[in-house]
Amino acid sequence: MTDSILNQFRLDGQVAVVVGGNRGLGFEISKALAEAGANVAIVGRDVERNEGARNYLQRHYGQQNMWQTCDICDEHQIDRVIAIVTKQWNRIDVLVNSAGVNIRGTLESLSLEQFEQVQRVNVTGTWSMCRAVVPIMKQQGYGRIVNMASMLSIIGMPERTPYATSKGAVLQLTRALALELASHKINVNAILPGPFATEMNLPLTNDPEKYAAFVAKIPLGRWGELHELGALALYLCSPACSYVTGAAFSIDGGWTAQ
């Protein structure tokens, strides 16, 4: 008799590193992975938020969890964090790259430094985290990497040139890395969120006119709820997605199907 299908979504004994796991979509992913049994290492720059997120996981799910402060634009900080995680658990099964920034504005209003800042965090930071973790996954012969892209990876939007550029790059990074790592049984996939009520989208959620304009473009007629993305992320981080790699999963209420 085969195992229950639900067991394929369990992560008992696995170790998950969630970058940006202390807030927004990243925190929702941290909760989903912890509920599935993973030991979660939350990586972020804000000490207070890191501590709060980790304490939440401890209260609600119980297994070992940790947090580490890290600027993912600094490879030395990344190496330090990965060394601490592997010393604690001697493995890393899952990497979720969910840290990101978005600077909005017209092309003329934005500086080169603002453009480069978005690329450093969203693209270089994601690439650097993968580079630090992949050797560990290769040694194990197993891994799941989930990169947070965006619906703007595949469609355009005014006043989003830095962000759209970066998220297009994250999607292509995901595809290239999936092919590079397939023979090592390391699956690499991307999530492409549409509108969700996160801190990054406060300029939209706090403006009734802009909020309504976004809702009008969504076939399902509403913004996404955080738990909906957590469920998708759990699938991509679990043994259940063993035959899925290099894929882009849109979760946008049907926006990009139009």
Q: Which residues are catalytic?
A: 163
CA distances from 188 to 116, 134, 143, 177, 178 (A): 25, 11, 8, 7, 5
In contact, 248 and 190? CB cutoff 8 Å = yes
Sequence-ordered list of residues with C-beta below 8 angstroms from that of 15, at least 6 positions apart, any chain: 38, 39, 41, 85, 89, 91, 92, 93, 94
Interatomic CA distance for residues 233 and 31, integer angstroms: 11
Q: How far does Cα 49 stand from its chain's mean position?
A: 17
Coil vs helix vs strand at 37: coil
In contact, 188 and 245? CB cutoff 8 Å = yes
Strand runs labelled E in the chain: 15-19, 39-44, 66-69, 94-97, 143-148, 186-193, 248-251
**Among the listed residues 75, 64, 62, the one whose alpha carbon sits nearest the alpha carbon of residue 42:** 64
**Among the listed residues 196, 188, 143, the one whose alpha carbon sits nearest the alpha carbon of residue 170:** 188
